[in-house]
Amino acid sequence: MVTLHFEGADMILKARHYLIRQADVNTELWCVGWHPISYAAAVGGGLLTILGDIVLKDQLIIYDLDNQQIGWVNYDCTLCLTF
């Protein structure tokens, strides 16, 4: 498991949320599904990591527009959503 630390919250990921199996090679090869990139043009510069669909699988994303915050909750996305 991997834990991503954010200001005010942690996101705990299971291997299926960040490892990608490369099936087109003769040996068993697994790759990490994220990669930091430089964003020197942004204010302050530094590194940026974009979390895509493999990391956000089985997460419901919550948008708090009033407080301009984003959050998440673990969810089994094979289940139907009911509101």
Closest CA to 53 of 29, 17, 81, 21: 17
Under DSSP, is residue 26 helix (H, G, I), strand (E, B) or coil?
coil
Tell me, yes or no, if the pTM score tops 0.85. Answer: no
The reported pLDDT for the residue numbered 19 is 83
What mean pLDDT comes out for the span 12-27? Answer: 78
Q: How far apart are CA 18 and CA 34, in angstroms?
A: 7
DSSP state of 15: G
57-73 pLDDT tens trace: 888 888 999 999 888 88
Share of the chain above pLDDT 70, in %: 78
State the pLDDT confidence band at 43, using cuts at 50, 70 and 90: low
Q: Are 76 and 60 in contact (CB under 8 A)?
A: no
